[in-house]
Amino acid sequence: MKHIPRKRFGQHFLTDTGIIDQIVKHIAPRAGDAMVEIGPGTGALTQPLTEHLPQLTVIELDRDLILRLQMHPQLRVVQGDVLKVDFAALATELQAAKLRIVGNLPYNISSPILFHLLDFVDIVQDQHFMLQKEVIDRMVAQPASSAYGRISVMLQWRYAMENVLFVPPESFDPPPRVDSAVVRMIPRPAGSFAPLDQPLLEELVRVAFSQKRKLVRHTLGRWLEQRQFGGTFDLQRRAEEIPVDEYVQLAGQVPAAPAPA
């Protein structure tokens, strides 16, 4: 019986075998990999991956799909919401130092998934995701471009990223109304990024981009005053004009928020 895609799960199933082959080549699975697939769906990418792997862990929320996946002898099925999965615990269960994570991410929650995975970047070898092309454009965007924003800063702080493949709407069933693409995300090696209080950097960047058309003295400037920042920072710029490294350096200089009374 054919599975009917569910809108509430943002399901668009990949059906183009040529595109699937290209994705698998970019992932380059090897027998010893501890690989995790997010949202395997009807198994379009899952089956080709299992041809290279003795076991594949999949994370799926749709109960109807889970019943089918559990019948596959090479799959270890994790039932539940990916946003609640502890990937560090999963790596321990798999006895793996590093995970390789792949998937055709649901478009309606792709950004939350990326930010959730940022919490586990230290135990990730690499990530290959199919996403809305517009999201990937924002992920890899450079300063002074319209696509540059909060997600650009937060992900470029910890990952080297590359758009490796364009995927047209007709590659899916049902076809989405947007173009898609595949991104490769490789965590930056230790020593190549500044260790920071991640929630503080997230708050700083969120404040800076809260009013993109205004100079950051109206947003970030006030936030820095509240934090009693005593350093110097050029606030006569828009948020999209400030490079990732400058946001990171600033976050390293900002005093911690005072404890509540």
Round to whole Å and give the CA distance between 147 and 232. Answer: 27
So what's the pLDDT on residue 260? 55
Are 180 and 214 members of one domain? no
Answer with the one of 147, 168, 187 that is the final residue of a domain.
Answer: 187
So what's the pLDDT on residue 193? 87
Asked if residue 126 belongs to a known ligand binding site, the reply is no
Round to whole Å and give the CA distance between 72 and 58. Answer: 11
Asked if residue 60 belongs to a known ligand binding site, the reply is yes
Q: Is residue 193 part of a domain?
A: no
So what's the pLDDT on residue 106? 85
So what's the pLDDT on residue 174? 87
Asked if residue 108 belongs to a known ligand binding site, the reply is no
Count of structural domains within the chain: 2
Residue with tokens 């697939």: 37
Asked if residue 12 belongs to a known ligand binding site, the reply is yes
- Phi/psi at 200 (nearest 5 deg)? -70, -45
- For residue 60, give the CATH number of its domain: 3.40.50.150
Are 247 and 183 members of one domain? no
Please enumerate in sequence order all residues whose Cβ is within 8 A of that of 28, keeping only pairs 6 or more positions apart, or say none: none
So what's the pLDDT on residue 7? 45
Are 207 and 176 members of one domain? no
Domain region containing 47:
7-187
How confident is the chain (261 residues) per 10-residue block, as mean pLDDT?
A: 45 87 97 96 93 97 92 96 97 98 91 96 97 96 96 98 96 91 96 90 97 95 95 97 97 79 49
User: Is 45 in contact with 23 (CB distance < 8 Å)?
Assistant: yes
Residue type for position 4? I
Are 159 and 224 members of one domain? no
Which of 126, 99, 132 lies closest to 26 in space, CA to CA?
126
Asked if residue 3 belongs to a known ligand binding site, the reply is no
Are 140 and 163 members of one domain? yes
Please enumerate in sequence order all residues whose Cβ is within 8 A of that of 243, keeping only pairs 6 or more positions apart, or say none: 143
So what's the pLDDT on residue 108? 86
